[in-house]
Structure 1
Amino acid sequence: MDLLKTAFLFGFLAYLFYYLKFSRDLHQATKTINGTYDYIIVGAGSAGAVLASRLSEDPEVTVLLLEAGGDGTENAELYNTPLMAPMLAKSASDWQYESAPHHKSGAFINMNKDKHYYTSGKVLGGSSMYNYMQYVRGSRYDNDEWAANGCSWWGYDDVLPYFLKSEDYLGKEGDFTKYHHKGGPLGVTEETVFPELLKRFIEASKELGYKEVDYNAERHIPTKFGRRSVKLDTFRKCLSQKAVPGISLVVNLLHPKSRGKVTLKSTDPFDYPFIEPNYFEKREDIETLKRGIKLIEALFEIKAMKQIGTDSNRFKNAEFCANHVYRSEDFYECLVNHLSQVHYHQSSTCKMGPVNDKSTVVDPTLKVKGVTGLRVVDASVMPNAISGNTYAPVIMIAEKAADMIRGIDSVKDIRKHLANKSNS
């Protein structure tokens, strides 16, 4: 625990030093810097921008928001078009992290030198700039597990009001339902692009026994797509709503059993950390991905999908797996090892837990244990990975953190409405 606290403090001070040293070369949102501030927020990413916005609602306090990257005004067309997000990789708006060599024999054969590249936003808005405008809250069971493991006030019923607070739902469910809310700064709507493709995908899923649901609502089986839009008056840099999002059908391992770690590489504050992802450390992860590939093949065999050209035998003649019997267990494992890619969304490196849990860094109020006046508010505090994209949960964490810091309950009316809905 002492090592974790020391590493975090070291990283915090290094980031602050980096900003102070190089901020002259960056665009500054203000020309006047006070000698003191009530709150200093390091990083204007998804969480930092929201936290700064909410804390600044109190006219009696001063807030300083520090961002090492730019404000996104250069190459604005890249930031404003979600499908162009890959072009931001390895740019000045990317921290350009890289993992240590991956030593598991046979795994990630397609990756260059067995290392993994991690895109991480170094710009106003942070990694939300790379997010393709997806809005996925995850499963209620994720949050209930947090609460069951000692993270008081972080169960699903506790956090749902904070998801709703930021949302301006633009779908067809009405102005206000139990699971959607209007009036927040973050526009959320159903996917409207490629309607025929979506229709066929949903039809095929139904044939396999899945129901069409809103996976941000009461059920958590994803056969309907959620999309976020960002308006000019929102927490961070505006994304164009004119962009055309694409749909990729992939097998995504939401709850890996393997665990990585992040440690300091040296005493130099400008050295990047040593990242060891340990992918496929647990055999169960490979088996889960194999089952996922088989499910996709079954989906592609359904008439609704075959009519638009899907091919379940795409890898039948794959040279890299030619020495295995087609569709044998060894063949599927070969596909996993050759085709796996990193989907980012790393979390839980500074996880939240009970005060007496020495494996955790922050308590349920997000205060760093043993340190006065310091909290962590981002995806790193998640006790474990959530079932989906981390963007929406990070916004929720920041909304909830703002209330804890200010000592207010900004969602009491939403909570009351939810209670009335449940009783009706």
Structure 2
Amino acid sequence: MSLVNLNQLRDTLLGAGTNTLIPFLQLFLLVLFPDAGPGSFPLPRSLYSHYDFIIVGGGTAGCVLAGRLSEVAEWRVLLLEAGGEPTLETKVPGLSPISYIPGYSQDWGYATVPQKYSSQNFANRAARQPQGRVLGGGSTVNAMYHVRGNRRDFDHWASLGNPGWDYLSVLPYFIKSEDYRGDPGDTAAYHGKGGPIGVTPAPITPLTEAFMQGGRELGYTVLDYNGPEQLGFSQASFSILKGVRSSTADGYLRPAASRPNLHIMHGALVHKVLFTGKRATGVQFQHKGKVMTAQARREVIMSAGSVASPKLLMLSGVGPRHHLLNHQVDVVVDLPGVGQNVHDHVEVLGLSWTTPHLISTTGFRELFTKDTQDKYRTERKGPLATAPFNFLNAWVKVSPEDDPLWPDIQLFFNSATIAFDVGFLSPALWGLDKKRFFEYMSDIYGLEGFSIRPILVRPRSRGTITLKSNDPRDAPYIDPQLLTHKYDVDTLVAGVKFALALGNTSRFMNNYQAKFFDKPLPSCAGEVYGSDRYWTCYVRHMSTTFYHLTGSCKMSPVSDPYGVVDHKLRVRGVEGLRVIDASIMPAVTNGNTNAPTIMIAEKGSDIIKQDWASY
């Protein structure tokens, strides 16, 4: 097969939807992965009459659980996943933005309900809410940032009445999961070798150096954000192993797939958990048009994620009584906290700097060359082997409240403006209103530059996930109620000001002649440009979720009336049912949530093994 012209791929990406793009892309990828054969996760020929454990959801957490629980040879484990097997495009780090194109087959396609206080420049005032619908879940389709969070996040969980979830207790699970491929220097004790998830630092580029130098100018140190402290600027680390995405499907599930005690059913949409009295005894699901049931001797484990886990609990009769009755669902236990405490990180889009220098070659354009393709095919190196757009992160403190070493803003840097693609994909990728996007951004269409996005990492606003109907095929209503709390808005305004200061530091100004795109946002024309009132308006119009939805099945002690699971992740009021995924976080961690979700599943696996050790 001859090499595919990557300029054609670029044109297809910019001009076509996923129905055209993905088949073309997968054909191209057979060149890069000539050994790609039939699926690595074959369906079982038949199901057992009973399993010891049934895991609902084969995403980030579910794959970890399936791999770890099936280590016990005498336990029969069934993993049910609504999506399919990972496709070739998910394996190439440089192509990771593909998964964010609307309509992508391995995403649920969720969006929030219209937001009252945020996302005002977005289509229908709604924020996109991507969630992986594929084995490996978010770990298969996310941006691959490997961020553990801040040690104070976990100490906070423990202080709320969740023993065993403090930082020193969870750190061994982070280390256990990791195969670190960099030189950690003096933070070596915080990193693991030989674990299931490869973690690789990104290459250092001139932009990386400018970013870190900017941090120093503003009084911050350069550090390893997965080390003992997080506050500062850093080189990025990604869940990549030898130039290929490292997902939980590859790291945990694939090595376990041949075990005779593990059955993997992908393409299986779970309808509900089955109960005998108040004990979970199995699940009902649909596979290839056929409604089926599976029985569990020991436990059903809900690992369907922050959207589907509360939805399936409610469809099963576990949730707020009045809400279930409104949807004609028989109540097993009245648990008002299911679907409450919903929150997400909030990012602000649009802060862009233009430059006369060609810098997006470190991101987008360089992907589309024959040299890049050859280097990746033969060595698994080059631009395709790492995340595109020179992604970088920093964690800073802009509010005087709380611990001075507990960041409240994450800064996300990338080497392209939001209008770099001349508007072909950017509005749709973010869910922005196309007319408003053009009105604001048309002046910098196609220009070189970079963006800095301030992200609120400790939001105080809380929302809900509620049923649309009792049909398991219907998506629930997702309402994080972004920016309902004044603290969140004020902190983001301060974060915007910090981003402006960073973009205007000497290395960016002198080496790149960076110029901030200071056109006033038309939607905020009534405010004095640059004032706090203007930036407040800007934040409310250009803010969206950061795809880290958590908290909908909160872990808490019995004293909290809105708790859903205890510190052993057991669902209140019933037996034989746990929730193990990001939904159990009482408060979202400080940064991207994939690594903490892996930790939760690693620790949850050990809890289950310990609880059943005497049986």
TM-score range, shorter chain: 0.7 to 0.9
CA distance in 2, matches of 1:46, 1:310: 42
The equivalent of 1:361 in structure 2 is: 564
Give the counterpart of 2:545 among 342, 356, 360: 342
The equivalent of 1:226 in structure 2 is: 237
**Percent of aligned pairs sharing the same letter:** 41
Deviation of the 1:343 alpha carbon: 1.1
The reply to whether residue 199 of structure 1 matches residue 209 of structure 2 is yes
Q: TM-score, normalised by structure 2?
A: 0.58
The equivalent of 1:10 in structure 2 is: none
* Contact 1:316 1:326 (8 Å CA) reproduced: no
Deviation of the 1:79 alpha carbon: 4.8
How many aligned residue pairs are there? 378
The equivalent of 2:45 in structure 1 is: 31
* Contact 2:489 2:536 (8 Å CA) reproduced: yes
Give the counterpart of 2:60 among 33, 43, 46: 46
Q: Where does structure 1 differ by over 6 angstroms across 4 or more consecutive aligned residues?
A: none
* Equivalences for residues 158-307 of structure 1 within 5 A: 158-173=169-184, 177-192=188-203, 195-224=205-234, 225-230=236-241, 234-235=251-252, 242-246=385-389, 247=391, 248=414, 249-307=452-510
The equivalent of 2:142 in structure 1 is: 131
The equivalent of 2:595 in structure 1 is: 392
The reply to whether residue 80 of structure 1 matches residue 223 of structure 2 is no
SS in 1 for 2:533: helix
Amino acid at match of 1:77: E
SS in 2 for 1:201: helix
Q: Deviations over 1:268-323 (max 9, x none)?
A: 33222122121111111111111111111111221111134364631244444333
The equivalent of 2:78 in structure 1 is: 64
* Contact 2:503 2:516 (8 Å CA) reproduced: no
CA distance in 1, matches of 2:91, 2:219: 39
The equivalent of 2:166 in structure 1 is: 155
The equivalent of 1:415 in structure 2 is: none
Amino acid at match of 1:217: G
Which 5+ residue runs of structure 1 have no aligned equivalent? 1-26, 410-424
* Contact 2:554 2:585 (8 Å CA) reproduced: yes
CA distance in 2, matches of 1:301, 1:283: 28
CA distance in 2, matches of 1:287, 1:353: 29
CA distance in 2, matches of 1:237, 1:203: 41
Give the counterpart of 2:128 among 79, 92, 117: 117
* Contact 1:258 1:280 (8 Å CA) reproduced: yes
SS in 2 for 1:145: helix
SS in 1 for 2:115: coil
CA distance in 2, matches of 1:189, 1:79: 15
Amino acid at match of 1:234: G
Higher strand share: 2
Amino acid at match of 2:388: P
* Contact 2:54 2:78 (8 Å CA) reproduced: yes
CA-based RMSD of the aligned residues comes to 2.4
Give the counterpart of 1:97 among 110, 127, 130: 110
CA distance in 2, matches of 1:322, 1:287: 20
Q: TM-score, normalised by structure 1?
A: 0.83
CA distance in 1, matches of 2:207, 2:134: 34
Deviation of the 1:88 alpha carbon: 5.0
* Contact 1:366 1:401 (8 Å CA) reproduced: yes
CA distance in 1, matches of 2:511, 2:165: 43
Which 5+ residue runs of structure 2 have no aligned equivalent? 1-40, 256-379, 392-413, 415-451
The equivalent of 1:142 in structure 2 is: 153
Deviation of the 1:337 alpha carbon: 2.2
The equivalent of 2:333 in structure 1 is: none
* Contact 2:174 2:595 (8 Å CA) reproduced: yes
Amino acid at match of 1:154: W
* Contact 1:90 1:119 (8 Å CA) reproduced: no
Amino acid at match of 1:72: P
